[in-house]
Amino acid sequence: MRHRLSRNFLPETETETTLLKNAYDDGFDELTKIHETLKGVDMNPERVTTNFDARKQAIGKHHLLNTNWELQNKIIDKLSDERIFEAVEKSNGYGKKYIKYLRDNNRLTSEKAR
């Protein structure tokens, strides 16, 4: 349902696509080579869903649709790196696998959190 909503009603801008690919980089795509159940999966829509779910995890009750993005971003900017990674890890199965991949490959860095 989330994919259909994104595709039909909330299409990404080129800037958003670039931001998501920077945040969920080649390691996110690597998951399709590591996990048999992800073979052939287009990871681009999963970036959107994982990021949406991670934001929800990160800011909790402030993730209401009537809370503006600017306020949400200010809340996220104040979170520790550990809290950012925890939010992605708890977002969904893709986020959990991605954080494990980053951790296993020594890529879980402050730069990656920001």
Amino acid 68: pLDDT: 80
Amino acid 50: pLDDT: 93
Average pLDDT over residues 103-107: 95
Amino acid 40: pLDDT: 93
In 3D, which of 14, 4, 86 has the Cα closest to residue 45? 4
Residue extents of the structural domains in the chain: 2-113
- Among positive and negative, which fits the CA dihedral 27, 1, 88, 12? positive
Amino acid 8: pLDDT: 45
Structure tokens at 58: 């990160």
Mean pLDDT of the chain: 86
- Residues with Cβ within 8 Å of 64's Cβ and at least 6 positions away in sequence, in order, are none
Amino acid 32: pLDDT: 96
| Tokens 């259909």 sit on residue | 4
pLDDT over 90, % of the chain: 54
Task: Give pLDDT tens digits for 31-44.
Answer: 999 999 999 999 98
Radius of gyration of the chain (CA): 14
Task: Give pLDDT tens digits for 42-96.
Answer: 998 899 889 989 998 998 876 665 668 888 888 899 999 999 999 999 999 999 9
Using alpha carbons, list the distances in angstroms from residue 12 to 8, 74, 77, 90.
10, 21, 22, 23
Contact 51, 23 (CB under 8 A): yes
User: What b/e sequence results for 70-95 when a residue is b if at least 16 CB atoms lie within 10 Å of its CB, and e otherwise?
Assistant: eebeeebeeeeeeebbbbbbebbebb
